[in-house]
Structure 1
Amino acid sequence: MTLYYSLVFLLLIIEILVFVGLIIPLPFHLKRKMFIFISESPVIAKLQHGMRITFIFILILFIDSVNRVYRVQLELASYSKDPTRGRAAALGDRSEIQARKFYSQRNMYLCGFTLFLSLILNRTYLMILELLRLEDKIRLLEGDKKAGGKDSARLAEAGNAGEIGRLKREIEVRDQDIATLKKQTEGLSREYHKLGDQLSTEDGTPKKDR
């Protein structure tokens, strides 16, 4: 197994461990704090961004492995239909092609399961977040004193951190545009008043001469 496929296999193992960690039954308050930490940690946010880029490369490897499987399958079919080859040579060539087919299929399944599990992890994370929010609301309606508070508000914002960050960046850009427009308006206003004063001075001088 080459280095990059070994890294893909390592990533698959990490995904399996993360999935097991998500579905392990834990007390409500402990799981809520854990998900709040995951959603608010800047380190995990950077890690998620890096993982998205990694999954793009894994998708490229998956497409390449599918292409290799298809080509090996065509090559195997051509060897089977060629009657001019000797029996011993045909058996040797067929064994070599079968080995390449096995490795190509292994790489295809490895990349495919890694990509598929990443989608499952994302969906499982969002489902557990929604379940925690609903459970927190139920506890609050039942009169649980530990429900509600800052943790509930932070839990309500969890999962929307990317959207909130995007909106904040848009607001900052709009604020910068508004500040720029204000400066331009102030500059135009000063020029307008300056030009008005000059015109008033010019209009007043001939009147005095008359």
Structure 2
Amino acid sequence: MTLYYSLVFLILVTEMVIFMSLIVPLPFTWRRKLFTFISESPLVAKLQYGMKITFIFILILFIDSVNRVYRVQVELAAAAESPAGRGGAAVLGGSERMEVQARKFYSQRNMYLCGFTLFLSLILNRTYVMILDVLRLEEENKRLKGDPAAKGKDAAALGNAGDPGEIGRLKKELAARERDLEALKNQTASQQREYNRMGDQISPADSMPKKDR
């Protein structure tokens, strides 16, 4: 195996290890901290950018390996259609046959290696996105259930809204506010009546000098 295909195999093993680490069941807090670190770390972002370039080269190797497999198949088909290959006899003989079979084996191996590496990279990317969505939904679910660990006043308010007894408490608060509003209306009306009464008392006193004049 050449150096670059050895590197592709190493990347494939690394992807398998990462995939296993992603699907390992972990506590919600640990998993949230881990994915928060992955999402916010600049080193991980640079590594992801470098891996994208690496996968472009792996795609080129995959296309080259598919081309080699196709050429070997064409060569074997041409040899089978030759006069020496008619009648079910051996298509190629001796070392030449072994050399063609070896090239076919290596070409197929390289094609499968690059193909599985690319395919697993897509699976890893999709799994990572799905786990982020699950974490976000779990966090939202905890906030709606009133988890004390939820951050922010709004999150706490949303969490209390999911409590079954919260509706009754809100109704009591609404009734208390309605009573306060009614008391405020009565107080305003009483003050208005008192203001009108004092106005009626002051008006005759103000009108007396006008009559004397």
TM superposition score category, shorter chain reference: 0.5 to 0.7
Equivalent in the alignment of 2:27: 27
Aligned-pair identity in percent equals: 67
Deviation at 1:89, TM superposition (A): 5.7
Deviation at 1:90, TM superposition (A): 2.5
- The answer to whether the 8 A contact 1:136-1:148 is kept is no
Q: Return the match for 2:132 from 123, 129, 134.
A: 129
Deviations 1:159-194 (CA, angstroms, capped at 9, x unpaired) = xxxxxxxxxxxxxxxxxxxxxxxxxxxxxxxxxxxx
Q: Which has the larger radius of gyration?
A: 2
Q: Aligned letter for 2:131?
A: I
Deviations 1:62-108 (CA, angstroms, capped at 9, x unpaired) = 00000000000000111222224896963432222111101000000
Equivalent in the alignment of 1:54: 54
Q: Return the match for 1:93 from 81, 93, 96.
A: 96
Q: Which has the higher contact order (CA 8 A, sep 6+)?
A: 1
Corresponding position: 1:13 with 2:16: no
| RMSD over equivalenced CA pairs, Å | 1.9
- The answer to whether the 8 A contact 2:79-2:91 is kept is no
Gaps of 5+ in 2: 156-213
- The answer to whether the 8 A contact 1:69-1:105 is kept is yes
TM-score by length of 1: 0.68
Q: Aligned letter for 1:63?
A: I
Question: In 2, distance between residues paired with 1:132 and 1:87?
Answer: 61
Count of equivalent residues: 150
Equivalent in the alignment of 2:159: none
- The answer to whether the 8 A contact 2:8-2:114 is kept is yes
Question: In 1, distance between residues paired with 2:3 and 2:114?
Answer: 14
- The answer to whether the 8 A contact 1:79-1:90 is kept is no
Equivalent in the alignment of 2:78: 78
Equivalent in the alignment of 2:199: none
Deviations 1:7-54 (CA, angstroms, capped at 9, x unpaired) = 000000000000001111000011000000000111100000000000
Moved over 6 A (4+): none
Deviations 1:138-167 (CA, angstroms, capped at 9, x unpaired) = 111111111335xx9xxxxxxxxxxxxxxx
Gaps of 5+ in 1: 153-210
Query: Structure 2 matches for 1:34-53, cutoff 5 A?
Result: 34-53=34-53
SS at match of 1:132: helix
Equivalent in the alignment of 2:68: 68
- The answer to whether the 8 A contact 1:15-1:117 is kept is yes
SS at match of 2:93: helix
